[in-house]
Amino acid sequence: MKKMLFVFNPRSGKGQITSHLMNICDIFTKDGYEVTVRPTQARLDAYRYIIEREKDFDVIVCSGGDGTLNETIKAMMTLESKKPIGYIPAGTMNDFASTLGIPKDMTAAAKAITEAFPVAVDVGAFNSEYFTYIAAFGVFTAVSYATDQQLKNSLGILAYMVEAMKEYQESWQKYHMTVKYDDVVIEDDFIFGMIANSMSVGGIKGLAGSDVWLDDGIFEGVLIKYPNNLAEFHMTLNALAKRDFTSPFLYYFKSSYFEIESRDSVPWTLDGEFGGNRNKIAIRNCHCAVNIFTGRNNVIGKG
């Protein structure tokens, strides 16, 4: 009998996993798995448990938000394991699950794991850490996870940016950075930046562009210049709303390796979780590093 480790965060998504747990386990059991269930007890518990027990299982399935998926993939990268990963989204944003086409319904997501084949996708190395789909800094990182999802659904990126303007108009932080990729060097003042591998960021589609593939060995980068006044901020907002990456207020680029240095220590987020204060980082695309069950094929195939 195949052995599955099912790790879930009981607090994600207001604990909705509790009302689906029996159905999910039944689906996996009927598919021939002997299931070991592990509710996480604290931050990094999923990571530590997978590190300890991965060799005992054929498949690792996790359920929770982007942070739970990050811990699972971080563990598999640490172990250099190619065992397949299943993901049942239960968080607030679930950006990577949206990109992968994984159903939002938890029972449907479990069935998809039993019906699909795992595919290889890229993972990001952030110095000695890992991220699944985004490493970001600056003014909009916190706002993207705080803005009401219904508001974003109705107004899209404008709601996202307007909320940022309301919250941070008087306290925009300026980050002076030097960014290197390929043969390009960028030095400027920024209020936001991200290196991403997702069609959805903070619940907003298209923020990393439209030509996003999860297995091409390439990440998409976006840097927003520091606006000197509200007029420039509004022009920046308009460029983002239109996804106009030719705007003089934005930098947009693609590469597999980035070096970023800043004068002062900068707080970063990795998949929506705090990634530490850094003034020098290297970001590398780990090409097709993990195998994950996906419900969508149009983001796979370039690698």
pLDDT digits (tens, 9 = 90+) for 20-53: 999 999 999 999 999 999 999 998 999 999 999 9
The pLDDT of residue 298 is 53
Domains in the chain with CATH codes: 2-116 (3.40.50.10330), 130-287 (2.60.200.40)
pLDDT beneath 70: ranges in the chain: 91-93, 140-171, 200, 202-209, 295-303
Buried b (16+ CB within 10 A) or exposed e, 20-59: bbeebbebbeeeebebeeebbeeeebbbebbbeebeebeb
pLDDT at 12: 80
Q: Which long-range contacts (CB under 8 A, 24 or more apart) does 40-45 make?
A: 40/7, 40/8, 40/9, 40/10, 40/64, 40/68, 43/67, 44/71, 45/71
The per-residue pLDDT for 150 is 55
pLDDT, position 209: 66
CA distances from 264 to 79, 98, 191, 240 (A): 33, 34, 13, 27
Rounded to whole angstroms, how far apart are CA atoms 268 and 275? 5
pLDDT the model gives residue 99: 81
pLDDT recorded at residue 174: 87
Distance CA 195, CA 131 (A): 10
pTM of the model: 0.85
HSE, CB side, 13 Å, CA atoms: give it for residue 127: 11
Two structure tokens written together for 291? 């195998």
